[in-house]
Homo-oligomer: A and B are copies of this chain.
Amino acid sequence: MSSVASSPPALAWSVENCTLGRTMAILGERWTVVVLREVFLGVRRFDDIRRHAGIPRQVLSNRLAALVDHEILNRVPYQADGARTRHEYRLTAKGLELQPVLLAISAWGDRHLADPGGPPTTFVHRGDCEQPVHVEVHCAAGHRIDDPRQVATRPGPGVRPFEG
C-alpha cells in the first residue's frame, strides 16, 4: 500500500501545448505515450491522469490495462483518509527504460512543434546539477554521432529473408 503523496507539481501545468503529444499526433496514436508522460511526470492516479491529459475515461482505462499487461506499469493500491482503496500506476524497470524514447520524442517536438513561447516542460538532471538533459547517439567504440547519415542499418542476428 502506497502512502498518500501530495499532488504532483506537474499537475499544475497544462499539457495543452505539450510537444510530446503533438509529435505523437504525427507519429501515430498519441494516448498511450501521453499516459506514460503523465506517469513519468509523477501523475499516477486515474482521475488525475484523466483530468490532466483530457483522456476519455474508457480510453484511459484500456491504455492503462494494456500497459500493465505489458509490464510497463504496476498497479499499486493506496488509500486516502476515509476513502475506499484506489490504485495508482508506477513505472516498472521495463517502463523506466522507455524514458529515452520519451525524451527523444519530446526533443523533436520541442524543436519543431513548440509554441513561440517554448515548450511547457523541460527535463533536467535531478539534484545539484539541474542542467537540461538530451539524448545523444553514440557507438560502442565511443564515438558520438551527430549526423544521422553516419548511422547505417545492417542485418541483425535474427534476420530472415523477405519472401515478398
Contact = CB atoms under 8 A, between A and B. Distances in A.
Given A29-B29, A159-B121, A41 B153 contact: yes
29 contacts: A11-B162, A14-B159, A14-B162, A26-B70, A27-B28, A28-B31, A28-B32, A28-B33, A41-B153, A91-B148, A97-B108, A97-B148, A98-B108, A99-B137, A100-B107, A100-B135, A100-B137, A114-B158, A117-B158, A119-B158, A120-B159, A122-B155, A124-B153, A125-B139, A126-B152, A129-B139, A133-B138, A134-B137, A134-B139
A33 B27 contact: yes
Interface residues of A, number: 85
Contact of A161 (B14, B117, B130): B14
Copy number in this complex? 2
A96 B148 contact: yes
Contacts of A33: 27-28
